[in-house]
A and B are shown apart, each in its own frame.
Chain A
């Protein structure tokens, strides 16, 4: 799931202060699940902006609407009446949302309410960890099912590096050393020999480094 975190409010007010007719658009998929940009959070943010504007004497209108997924044409089409007449859209979706809205509503300024953080997995409720960086060339079959590209600070393919200590990464004791976990798992599965194989160098052209990517479902011509 995409995990996004609200931008600090000092940014939000910078974005919204100059405008008068603002629509906060929530997204009820990934950012709802990660408790940061769904219907409730969008309403909450709108109330916060209204309070701030009243305090600053900025006037204007701040309303909210939430769609199931901002990354779908049909859903963002549905809010055209709400968008009508607005001078600013503030999206609380991942960064796909503001872009989709900007493409659809060409005459309205669109700003992001969130910083899109990662593709993550919930560790415990209210805590998410990065599991994937969408590198385009999955290596999990070689690494015990755990991703060193997303989960090792140095994206090592032949780790763990010399900073691995007690299962923790050198950059922070809060970060798991994924190579320790890969090591332990391959050992448990009787696959220690895989640890001796040299992996890489990687083909980064399949990642974002190869330029923006487009994917077509096999059999369906674009």
Chain B
């Protein structure tokens, strides 16, 4: 959690004999060595740069860590040189990703606020805050691909709605992280378990399912976007998209003692955050239910429940001005 509330650095603890401060009250700083004017004091972030982007402060912190390591004689200390993120593929820029409209922040009326110095913005209602948070693109949280386990079956290439996976004539392939939207369809369909997900991996989800079902009961494997719960009384394991629900997950939930498993799904005519996610969810649930019929269990132990109106995507949750 990064608290970005516009506060300033408090360097009052720096003594006269310590690192020097400049006229703006920031530490005097050698950017190449992340060094202050005191030889054994290093610095990073907004105490040297002034207000800026959090990600720059984080990078600066990493550089400082390397500088400290070198100062302490760790020879191999070096920062990896990350590949610059390329331009977003054209197809993604042109409507591949479903836009989630921005919430309008409620604010006090201008006539009222010229009278005082009180906070202008009134803050979001919970649902709007959640909707706003769910606009996150989940960059880098999606498919994690293992060339070693890959059997070059091309399933991911064929099923990905975003064209993120690729394979060449030698069967070598990968998944373009810039194109991956983290829906999980490729993970669910990969027959060789060569794809997992960076955030909420199979192992994590299976562990969470077992944990939530420690005392039996009902389970919802649902969508983590706001207003998407379908069985509010059941224990819940929530995923960015239920396209990530595999047959194995559903069977394991029953093995773990679930009396009933609800699976949230977008309706056919109201796709959610991800393209075609609902089709994958429908297929997995149908397959799992068929498996239950095979073993003469009531297939209704696994139930697909359509998520109602997704206000976040439609911008309907935004308050009027």
Let me know if A38 and B191 touch, CB within 8 A.
yes
Across the interface, which residues of A come within 8 angstroms of B149, CB to CB?
28, 39
Complex: how many Å from CA A41 to CA B189? 10
B200 interfacial by beta-carbon distance below 8 Å = no
Contact of A39 among B152, B193, B291 (CB under 8 A): B193
In the complex, what distance in Å separates the CA atom of A28 from the CA atom of B296?
29
Cβ-neighbour of B191 out of A33, A50, A52 (below 8 A): A33
Q: Known: A32-B192, A39-B192, A43-B248. Is A125-B159 also a contact (CB below 8 A)?
A: yes
- With both beta carbons as reference points, the residue of chain A lying nearest to B191 in the complex is identified as A38
Contact of A50 among B154, B246, B247, B255 (CB under 8 A): B255
The distance from the CB of B260 to the nearest CB of chain A, in whole angstroms, is: 14
Q: How far is the CA of A117 from the CA of B250 in the complex (A)?
A: 28
Closest chain B CB from A75 CB (angstroms): 13
CB pair B192 A125 closer than 8 Å:
no
Least distance between A148 CB and chain B CB atoms (Å): 28
A43 CA / B206 CA spacing, docked (Å): 13
A33 engages B153 (CB within 8 Å): yes
For window 140-170 of B, CB contacts with A under 8 Å fall at 149, 151-155, 158-159
Say whether B251 contacts A35, CB under 8 Å.
no
Q: Provide the bound-state CA to CA distance between A48 and B149, in Å.
A: 24
Is A55 a contact of B295 with CB atoms below 8 Å? yes
CA distance A11 to B238 in the complex (A): 36
Looking at chain A, what size class is its interface with the partner chain? 20 to 34
Cβ distance A38 to chain B, nearest Cβ, rounded Å: 4
Residue A51 is within 8 A (CB to CB) of chain B in the complex? yes
> Which residues of chain A come closer than 8 Å to B291, judged between CB atoms?
9, 44, 48
Question: From residue 35 to 88 of chain B, which have CB atoms closer than 8 A to chain A?
Answer: none
Binary flags per residue of A51-81, CB closer than 8 Å to B gives 1, else 0: 1101100000000000000000000000000
B248 & A44 in contact (Cβ 8 Å cutoff) = yes
At the interface, yes or no: B294 with Cβ under 8 Å from chain A? yes
Let me know if A199 is at the binding interface, CB within 8 A.
no
Is residue B297 within 8 Å, beta carbon to beta carbon, of the partner chain? Answer: yes
Chain B CB within 8 A of A29 CB: yes
Q: Which residue of B152, B154, B255, B295 contacts A9 across the interface (Cβ within 8 Å)?
A: B295
Whether B252 is near chain A, meaning CB under 8 Å from some CB there, is yes
Q: Give the chain B neighbours of A41 by CB distance below 8 A.
A: 191
B286 interface residue (CB < 8 Å to A) = no
Is the C-beta of B264 less than 8 angstroms from some C-beta in chain A?
no
Number of interface residues of B (CB under 8 A): 26
CA distance A213 to B86 in the complex (A): 54
Interface status of B318 (Cβ within 8 A of chain A): no
In the assembled complex, A10 has its CB within 8 A of some CB on chain B: yes
Q: Which residues of B contact A8 (CB under 8 A)?
A: 294
* Nearest CB of chain A from residue B278's CB, rounded to whole Å: 17
Question: Is A47 engaged at the interface, CB distance under 8 Å to the other chain?
Answer: yes
Closest Cβ–Cβ distance, residue B282 to chain A (whole Å): 14
> Are B191 and A47 in contact, with the CB atoms below 8 A?
no
Q: Contacts A38-B191, A43-B248, A51-B251: A29 and B296 contacting too (C-beta < 8 A)?
A: no
A residues less than 8 Å from B155 (CB atoms): 35, 125
Return the contact of A48 from the options B191, B246, B294 (Cβ within 8 A): B294
Which A residues are CB-close (under 8 A) to B246?
A: 40, 44
Contact in complex: B255, A125 (CB < 8 Å):
no
Q: Does B305 contact A (CB under 8 A)?
A: no
B236 on the A face (CB < 8 A): no
CB–CB A55/B251 < 8 A:
no
Q: Max chain A CB contacts within 10 Å: which of B154, B159, B192, B246?
A: B192
Whether B193 contacts A47 by the Cβ 8 Å rule is no
Report yes or no: A29 in contact with B151, Cβ–Cβ below 8 A: yes
Contact of B295 among A36, A48, A125 (CB under 8 A): A48
> CB within 8 A of B158: which of A13, A38, A50, A125?
A125
Contacts of B296 in A (CB 8 A): 55
A39/B255 in contact, CB under 8 A: no
Cα A209 to Cα B304 with chains together (Å): 51
Identify which of residues 245-273 in chain B touch chain A, using a CB-to-CB cut-off of 8 Å. Answer: 246-248, 251-252, 254-255
Contact A51 B153, beta carbon cutoff 8 Å:
no
- CB contact under 8 A between A39 and B295, given known A29-B151, A50-B255: no
30 intermolecular pairs with C-beta atoms under 8 Å apart: A8-B294, A9-B291, A13-B295, A28-B149, A28-B151, A28-B191, A28-B192, A29-B151, A35-B153, A35-B191, A38-B151, A38-B191, A38-B192, A38-B193, A40-B190, A40-B192, A40-B246, A40-B248, A44-B246, A44-B247, A44-B248, A47-B251, A48-B294, A51-B251, A51-B292, A52-B295, A54-B255, A55-B296, A125-B154, A125-B158
* Pairs A-B, 3 closest by C-beta atoms: A9-B294, A38-B191, A52-B295
On A, residues with C-beta under 8 Å from B are 8-10, 13, 28-29, 32-33, 35-36, 38-41, 43-44, 47-48, 50-52, 54-55, 125
* Extra inter-chain contacts (17) besides given A13-B295, A44-B247, A47-B248, CB under 8 Å: A8-B294, A28-B149, A28-B151, A28-B191, A32-B153, A32-B191, A33-B153, A35-B155, A38-B191, A38-B192, A39-B193, A40-B191, A40-B248, A41-B191, A48-B295, A50-B255, A51-B254
